[in-house]
Structure 1
Amino acid sequence: MAKLFAVYRQPKDPAAFDAYYFGKHVPLAKTIPGLRSDEVTRGDVMGMEGKHPVYLVAILEFDSMESMGAAMASPQGQATAADLANFASAGVDVMMGNTMMV
């Protein structure tokens, strides 16, 4: 398996972020071909010292890094990536990698 992690920084207007993210971005992301599962954090993201400045973490799962690459290169993947500019003005870090059970 391979996962994509989208780590969103704290928005200036959390209500507007949530409305766009859950109303438009999530439905768009769900059209990405090969997407096996998706999940997001709920409530505060916590660090070792307490509340973390990260607002939300989304995790998208694919069969492999190769299938993720193809999915993100698809028109749906490109549209989803381009959509970040419409609501993630505080910033988002996108990371991906192979995963395994330990």
Structure 2
Amino acid sequence: MARLVALYKTPKDLTAFDRYYFSTHIPLAKTIPGLRKYEISDGGVDSPGGPSGYHLVATLHFDSVADIQAAFASPEGQATAADLGKFADGGVELLLFETREV
């Protein structure tokens, strides 16, 4: 299994971010080929020391990093990536990695 983790920094307008993210971005992202599961954080995103500066964390599940790369090369993946600039004005960090149980 592999994951794409999107760390969304706190936007200028939380209400506008949430409205767009839930009504537009999630439905768009769910069209990405090979996506197995889509999870988001629920509530605040804190660090052990308190607030983290992140508003939301999304975890997208795929079979492999190669599948993530192929998914984002697709028209649906390209549209989803391009959509980030429409609402993530605080910035977003994207991390890709393979996983294994230990």
Q: Same fold (TM over 0.5)?
A: yes
Taking the aligned partners of 1:57 and 1:100, their CA distance within structure 2 comes to 20
Q: How does 1:60-71 map to 2 (within 5 A)?
A: 60-71=60-71
Aligned CA-pair RMSD: 0.6
Q: Which residue of 2 aligns with 1:81?
A: 81
Q: Which runs of 4+ in 1 moved over 6 A?
A: none
Three-state SS of the structure 2 residue aligned to 1:69 is helix
CA shift at 1:84, angstroms?
0.3
Q: Which residue of 1 aligns with 2:94?
A: 94
Provide structure 2 residue ranges, at least 5 long, that are not aligned to the other structure.
none
Provide structure 1 residue ranges, at least 5 long, that are not aligned to the other structure.
none
TM-score (norm 1): 0.98
Letter of the 2:18 partner, please give it: D
How many residues are treated as equivalent by the alignment?
102
Q: Deviations over 1:21-56 (max 9, x none)?
A: 000000000000000001000110010101211110
Q: Which residue of 2 aligns with 1:15?
A: 15
Taking the aligned partners of 1:14 and 1:94, their CA distance within structure 2 comes to 20
Taking the aligned partners of 1:89 and 1:15, their CA distance within structure 2 comes to 13
